[in-house]
């Protein structure tokens, strides 16, 4: 059996037999995908493309919200809902990612799930902040008050506090395994508030509007925002999770390097 | 355009893209740390 790795410059059987010469690019491609070679080589280009696309969608969304007609049933600040609504949905999605990552950690005890959960919690707090702020600004423009203790607003504030508390608790626990376990259990418990926010308008009388009539241009504008904000959310969660993993690996390497230096100094009698 | 509308979008975009830039900067610092370690 001939072993080949993508880091080799050429396939060992290349140009030796004609069938292999013909099949080489395909077989190389298969090997490359298998080993993640293509992904690592093109990762930078893919990441850059992803962020450029997300940025362009935001620019498109901003242009379209100026062009889109105003909803007559609401005041002039009604257009704020193009960012408010997708951000609210993405808050739930980010909280769902945190929930799934918490289950993943408790199930597998792999610390990578904790990296994902930590990143998702930050994005949940960020998006919930956007939702609360845009809601407050819209409320001030529409109802003349920054805040009212309606069920949906109250549950949304509770959601923000719960996930903010998650982020405050994390650095307080020193042991990584203990931190991951406690935060995973907390992440599962905190998710209970998400369905409460969602159904609060349906079940309880609320000042918050539950549905809005939209014209086709408005629907298209909302669609652009509904693509842009989930893309940004996914990008932020993925980038944060990857960063957490890299930082953890580097910290482990630094600790190992320090302990090795200490050990070497103990043998040579030098002070560390 | 309405002042509240501008305020809403300015705050939201600053928060979202500010966090994206923060992550980008942190990843650059981590990359240079990794290169130093290697």
pLDDT computed for residue A180 by the predictor: 94
* Inter-residue long-range contacts of A5-12, CB under 8 Å, 24+ positions, other chains counted: A5/A35, A6/A31, A6/A32, A6/A35, A6/A37
- Higher-pLDDT residue of A64 and A7 is A64
Residue A112: Cβ-neighbour burial (10 angstroms; 0-12, 13-18, 19+) = middle
Q: Return the pLDDT at A107.
A: 94
- The angle that helices A81-108 and B3-37 make with each other, rounded to 10 degrees, is 30
Residues of A in contact with B19 (CB under 8 A): 122-123, 126, 236
**pLDDT tens-digit readout, B2-37:** 788 888 899 999 999 999 999 999 988 888 888 877
* Tens digits of residue pLDDT in A23-52: 444 444 444 444 555 556 677 888 889 999
Banded pLDDT at A13 (limits 50, 70, 90) = very low
Least Cα separation, residue A170 to chain B (angstroms) = 19
Q: Among partner residues B13, B20, B37, which is closest to A253 by beta-carbon distance?
A: B37
Residue A1 has pLDDT above 80, yes or no: no
Which residue reads 């009698």 in tokens? A269
Q: A75-94: per-residue pLDDT in tens?
A: 677 788 899 999 999 999 99
Of the pLDDT bands very low, low, confident and very high (cuts 50, 70, 90), residue A206 is low
Tell me what pLDDT residue A98 has. Answer: 96
Q: State the CB neighbour count (10 A cutoff) for residue A176.
A: 13
Q: CB under 8 Å to A231, separation ≥6 — which residues?
A: A50, A53, A54, A57
What pLDDT digit, counting tens, does each position of A113-152 carry? 999 999 999 999 999 999 999 999 988 888 888 888 888 8
Residue A210: pLDDT band (50, 70, 90) is low
Could you tell me the maximum CA-CA distance found in chain A, to the nearest angstrom? 82
The verdict on pTM exceeding 0.90 is no
Q: Residue range A4-13: average pLDDT?
A: 45
In degrees, rounded to 5, the angle at the alpha carbon of residue A107 between the alpha carbons of residues A255 and A246 is 30
Tokens at A109, concatenated: 């005890």
Query: CA-CA distance, A180 to A167, in Å (whole number)?
Result: 12
Check CB contact under 8 Å for B30 and A235: no
Indicate the domain borders of chain B: 1-38
Q: Which ipTM value was assigned to this complex?
A: 0.92
* Percentage of chain A lying above the pLDDT 70 cut: 78
Q: Which helix (H) or strand (E) holds A264?
A: helix A216-268
Spell out which chain A residues touch chain B, with contact meaning CB-CB distance below 8 angstroms. 51, 58, 62, 66, 75-77, 79-80, 83-84, 87, 122-123, 126-127, 129-130, 133-134, 137-138, 140-141, 232, 235-236, 239-240, 242-243, 246-247, 250, 253-254, 257
């Amino acid at each position: 059996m001939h072993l080949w790795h993508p880091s080799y410059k050429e396939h060992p059987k290349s140009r030796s037999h004609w069938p292999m010469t013909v099949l080489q690019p395909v077989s190389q491609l298969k090997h490359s995908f298998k080993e993640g070679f293509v992904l690592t080589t093109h990762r930078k280009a893919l990441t850059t493309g992803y962020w450029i696309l997300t940025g362009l969608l935001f620019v498109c969304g901003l242009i379209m919200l100026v062009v889109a007609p105003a909803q007559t049933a609401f005041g002039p600040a009604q257009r704020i809902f193009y960012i408010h609504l997708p951000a609210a949905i993405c808050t739930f999605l980010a909280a769902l990612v945190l929930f799934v990552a918490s289950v993943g950690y408790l199930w597998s005890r792999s610390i990578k799930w904790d990296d994902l959960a930590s990143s998702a919690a930050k994005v949940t707090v960020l998006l919930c902040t956007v939702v609360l702020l845009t809601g407050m600004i819209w409320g001030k423009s529409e109802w003349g008050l920054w805040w009212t203790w309606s069920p949906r607003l109250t549950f949304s504030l509770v959601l923000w506090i719960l996930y903010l508390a998650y982020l405050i608790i994390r650095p307080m626990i020193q042991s990584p395994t203990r931190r991951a376990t406690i935060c995973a259990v907390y992440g599962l418990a905190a998710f209970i508030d998400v369905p409460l926010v969602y159904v609060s308008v349906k079940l309880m009388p609320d000042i918050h509007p539950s549905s809005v009539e939209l014209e086709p241009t408005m629907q298209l504008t909302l669609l652009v925002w509904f693509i842009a904000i989930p893309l940004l959310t996914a990008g932020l969660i993925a980038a944060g999770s990857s960063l957490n993993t890299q930082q953890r690996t580097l910290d482990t390497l630094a600790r190992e390097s320090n302990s090795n230096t200490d050990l070497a100094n103990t043998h040579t009698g030098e002070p560390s | 355009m309405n002042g509240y509308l501008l305020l809403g979008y300015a705050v939201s975009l600053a928060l979202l893209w500010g966090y994206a830039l923060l992550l980008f900067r942190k990843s650059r610092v981590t990359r240079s740390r990794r290169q130093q370690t290697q």
